[in-house]
Amino acid sequence: MDLMHVHRQPSRLYILILNFVTLLASLMLFATGICELVGGPTRLLLHSDAISWGLIILSLIVFLVSVLGNICALSQSKRVAVTVDKMLDNSWQKAYDTNERALQDLETRLHCCGYETVTDRAVPKTSKDACIASPAFGYRVSCKQQLQESYEDHERLTIASITGIEGLQLLALLATIALLKMLPSDDTIEDRFSTEHSQRLLRGLRSEDESRTGYGNPSGTVDTRGGYGSTLGQ
């Protein structure tokens, strides 16, 4: 398979890399879901098996989409390009026969003349070189070339937008992981409550012992009347 077209088209290379990274992420999600179902020391804070099954199903869907994206990025099919070119040619011919005004507006907006070349079905129709010689037009670039350049500009803008969104998602994922690390685990919370309960219980027992032995009497003496420490004849 000739893969030189991937290097010649940066958008294909970007899509290939993005789908490969997404494929790796889907495998990580799948492994996380399996670990949650099996349990063990690697179990996370997912208390429902439904969430684990959801992760597994989502990872499989993302995996399939990533594989299809990689196949489409690596394959070089001219059928789609020929079909699009034929549709544009038919649309231009239809507008040339029925709506000359629309082609004039398009030529003015894109600063071009004709479709394939500057003399191919150009408007005005007064002569073959009317669009080139017209002071209102006078462009020497075909509209097909301008449409292709406009598509490439929009493609770069779309790729930049997707890259920005992916970057924000990555930052959100890192922030979520950091927050998850900061949250106490179930064992830590249980130990904390057990320690607090034990301390309260010890304080209660100590207070009860002090009240029985007379510690904390304001007179500073031990009250032995009728109690321990009394002697005969007293």
Question: Tens-digit pLDDT profile for the chain (234 aa)?
Answer: 445 554 556 677 777 888 888 888 888 888 887 877 776 554 555 556 777 788 788 889 988 988 887 787 777 666 767 788 899 999 999 999 999 899 989 988 988 999 999 889 988 888 888 888 877 667 889 999 999 888 888 878 887 887 788 788 778 877 877 776 777 666 677 777 777 777 777 777 777 766 776 545 555 454 544 444 444 444
Q: Is 62 within a domain?
A: yes
Q: Is 218 within a domain?
A: no
Length of the chain in terms of residues written = 234
Q: Residue 4 belongs to what domain range? A: 1-76
DSSP code for 229: T
CA distances 81 to 76, 85, 90, 102, Å, are 10, 6, 14, 24
Residue type, 113: C
Q: Is 211 within a domain?
A: no
Which of these three, 20, 54, 76, is where a domain ends? 76
112 plus 125 within the same structural domain? yes
Q: Is 234 within a domain?
A: no
**What's the first-to-final CA gap in the chain, in angstroms?**
114
d(CA 106, CA 95) in angstroms, rounded, equals: 11
CATH code, domain with 162: 1.10.1450
Domain count, the chain: 2
Which of these three, 21, 44, 76, is where a domain ends? 76
66 plus 103 within the same structural domain? no
Q: Is 6 within a domain?
A: yes
* Token pair 């057990």 in the structure block, residue: 194
111 plus 42 within the same structural domain? no
| Own/partner pairs, 206-211, CB within 8 angstroms, 24+ separation | none
pTM more than 0.85? no
